[in-house]
Amino acid sequence: MRSVIQRVSEASVTVDGEIISEIGTGLLVLLGIEDADGKEDIDWLTQKIANLRIFGDENDVMNRSVLDVDGDVIVVSQFTLHAQTKKGNRPSYIKASKPDIAIPLYENFVQVMAQKLGKKVGTGIFGADMKVKLLNDGPVTITIDTKNKE
């Protein structure tokens, strides 16, 4: 499971001209899923994201988590995070899971994230042409891959 986490002042996801998710201060999480991913990856990654200390404290030091600042989260599925670019100029997405595997894992990830935060988590629509708008705060952008835990 691969993620790009962006600290945002605001973010939204629009599909067919309609805003389906919108947050203020919080995190926009782009999530890539591959066939080898499972419950252990979901548990580890949601815990890591919920507790990442990337928000400023009273001294403007990144020492607070999204939980500490009562921030919101949007999770958007993004198969392109598993692009392989070694050969040629057209990325290969062979490592990205097909919908029959990815959708249940994505939905479970969102559910577990919501449990850890104690609030609803915004989403995109799996497979839709989404327009993601964000105001990256900092900018702070962190990448985490569950295959690189150690």
| Per-residue pLDDT reduced to its tens digit, 118-133 | 999 999 998 899 999 9
Rounded to 5 degrees, what are φ and ψ at 70?
55, 40
Containing domain of residue 107, as a range?
Answer: 2-148
pLDDT > 70 in the chain, percent: 99
Residue 15 is predicted with a pLDDT of 97
| Per-residue pLDDT reduced to its tens digit, 72-119 | 999 999 998 988 888 889 988 888 999 999 999 999 999 999 999 999
Residue 127 is predicted with a pLDDT of 87
**pLDDT(150) > 80:** no
Residue 84 is predicted with a pLDDT of 87
Q: Which residues are catalytic?
A: 78-80
**Total domains present in the chain:** 1
Residue 80 is predicted with a pLDDT of 87
Domain containing 96 — which CATH number? 3.50.80.10
DSSP per-residue string spanning 121-147: -EE--TTS-EEEEEEEEEEEEEEEEGG
